[in-house]
Amino acid sequence: MHLIYPAILAALLFCTGLYGVLARRNAILVLMSVELMLNAVNLNLVAFDVWLRDELHAGQALTLFTIAIAAAEIGIGLAIVLLVHRNRGTADLDRLRDLREDETTDGTTGATDREQKAEAAS
């Protein structure tokens, strides 16, 4: 089998996941897109492991580890999303803006804030 079939499929799946992470608004849909990206990496690992006929089968071992870590990640991520939803009443990423810089003022306060932070850090 030609190697570029799995390689191209993995690249396109990764980019689909990338689009989902950037464009989706619901936090759980973003987690789904992250899963797609991880799966693209898994496909690459398996394909290259089969191509190289590695004695240690490092690619397949890493694939199994990635699957386990993805399961752990989805558990923790969903717990965090549920906590945010319980505290704020929403899982929309666009509405979680507590840490943004204040855009209503004309920028001078932001500059002074930054100077104060720099002084505090030094």
Partner 1 sequence: MSTHGVALASGAHGFLSPTGVEVAFLLVGLVTLGAAVLTVTTRQLVHAALWLVVALGGLAVEYLLLTAEFVAWVQVLIYVGSVVVLLLFGLMLTKAPIGRSPDADSGNRPVAIAVAGAAAVALVWVVVDAFRRTWIDLRGPVQGSTEVSGEMLFRYWVLPFEALSVLLLAALVGAIVLSRRGKENEAEEPRRKEEAR
d(CA 15, CA 7) in angstroms, rounded, equals 12
Choose which of 8, 110, 112, 114 interacts with partner 1 (CB under 8 A).
8
Confirm if 24 and 33 have CB atoms less than 8 A apart: yes
d(CA 93, CA 77) in angstroms, rounded, equals 13
Q: Is 100 an interacting residue with respect to partner 1 (CB under 8 A)?
A: no
Nearer to partner 1 by Cβ, of 12 and 111: the residue is 12
Nearer to partner 1 by Cβ, of 15 and 111: the residue is 15
The Cβ-side half-sphere exposure at 93, using a 13 Å CA radius, reads: 12
The binding site for partner 1 (CB under 8 A) comprises 1-9, 11-20, 22-29, 31-33, 35-36, 39, 42-43, 46-47, 49-51, 53, 56-57, 60-61, 63-65, 67-76, 78-83, 85, 91-94
